[in-house]
Amino acid sequence: MITDAQSGADPIAPTLSEEIFDDDEPDSLPPLLSELGGELHELPEVTDLISRAIVDDPPMALKDGGIIRKGFDPALDELRSGATEGKDWIAQLQKEESEKTGITSLKVRFNSVFGYFIEVTKTNLDKVPEH
């Protein structure tokens, strides 16, 4: 369905409207549902957003992940990268923080009490920024 929307075919909502609210059989629907048929409107902005966000062949279960396209949201891409390439991401963070602060002995460490933390030697405490 998403692929049809991406290829420029009619959006999904009008197709559903045409299928459900066919004028040939007006008495086949409950009265309230028949009334609602005239209230359905195309939502091209929503259709476009969904077609840009969702991958062409999404997994069947949300828990499997990989539903949102890479490049759709830079913040999501960064989080996804952190989850899949964790050690590389931590090493890159350590390098960037070391360069920003000028503390060559800066280390990103982990323990079960504090989780991840940045470690610096006492001699470099004066170089640690306030944040």
On whether the CB atoms of residues 59 and 65 are closer than 8 A, the answer is yes
Cα(36)–Cα(43) distance, integer angstroms: 16
% of the chain residues with pLDDT over 70: 79
Model pLDDT for residues 27-41, shown as the tens digit of each residue: 677 888 777 776 777
Q: Assess whether pLDDT exceeds 90 at residue 108.
A: yes
The pLDDT assigned to 131 comes to 77
User: Which whole number is the average pLDDT over 45-60?
Assistant: 92
pLDDT at 67 over 70: yes
pLDDT beyond 60 at 107: yes
Q: How confident is the model at residue 3 (pLDDT cuts 50, 70, 90)?
A: very low
Task: Report how far apart the first and last C-alpha atoms of the chain are (Å, whole number).
Answer: 48
Domains of the chain plus CATH, in order, are 86-131 (1.10.1420.10)
Lookup: tokens for 22:
């066919």
Amino acid at 109: R
pLDDT computed for residue 128 by the predictor: 92
Helix axes 74-84, 86-101, angle to 10 degrees: 110
Give this prediction's pTM. 0.46
- Exposed/middle/buried for residue 124 (C-beta within 10 Å: 0-12, 13-18, 19+): middle
